Amino acid sequence: MKKEFTISVFTEHKVGLLHRITVIFLRRKINIESLNTSESEIRGIYRFTIVIQTTEDMAKTVTRQIEKQIGILKAFYHTLDEIVYQEIALYKVPTAAFTHGDDVEKLIRKHNARILTIEPEYIVVEKTGHKEDTKQLFRELEPYGILQFVRSGRVALTKQIKEITAYLKEIEKHQAATADELLTYQ
């Protein structure tokens, strides 16, 4: 049975790595629902957060295939109950929507969103939350006119701390030892 998985991939900072990772999903005809890349808590190591809908067996398979790529340090797959996650959404709404009473302002407060900027022609609203939360605010703002909308990919942290942190610290120690060896030979 298909369900949602979040794959965390820890990598070196290499050109072409994202392409090689996406090809793994392409070959298996798995659509990437969300993709985010950023620095990790360890200097020089980057994190890719990938959201897919598939079976658990396929999630395991693609995670193993990702780990075989040069430049990949480690990959993990997680179910929704194993992570804490959020997305951010930005909505550009015409300023005129705010001039006819306080309906839009109440809507923004109801959704715990905030106004980022106010310009003569538009106002930019920011909302963090799960995909369903950001989509709900979109639906409720739609009657007032949405000039632009964007939602980030998922950012996620695991609830279990040992697995990833211990592994990354081991990698960091290995990198430091390798750097020391290189300096010794020079």
pLDDT for res 161: 65
Q: With a cut of 80, say whether residue 10 has pLDDT above it.
A: yes
Query: What structural domains and CATH numbers belong to the chain?
Result: 3-78 (3.30.70.260), 84-151 (3.30.70.1150)
- Say which residues have a Cβ less than 8 Å from residue 28's Cβ, sequence separation at least 6: 58, 61, 62
pTM for the predicted model, two decimal places: 0.80
Q: With a cut of 80, say whether residue 64 has pLDDT above it.
A: yes
User: What's the rounded mean pLDDT across residues 24-42?
Assistant: 93
Q: Name the pLDDT band for 100 (thresholds 50, 70, 90).
A: confident
pLDDT for res 182: 59
Q: What values do phi and psi take at 34, rounded to 5?
A: -155, 145
Q: What values do phi and psi take at 152, rounded to 5?
A: -75, 170
Which is nearest to 151 in space by CA: 173, 179, 183, 128? 128
* Number of neighbouring beta carbons within 10 Å of residue 69: 17
Distance CA 77, CA 64 (A): 10
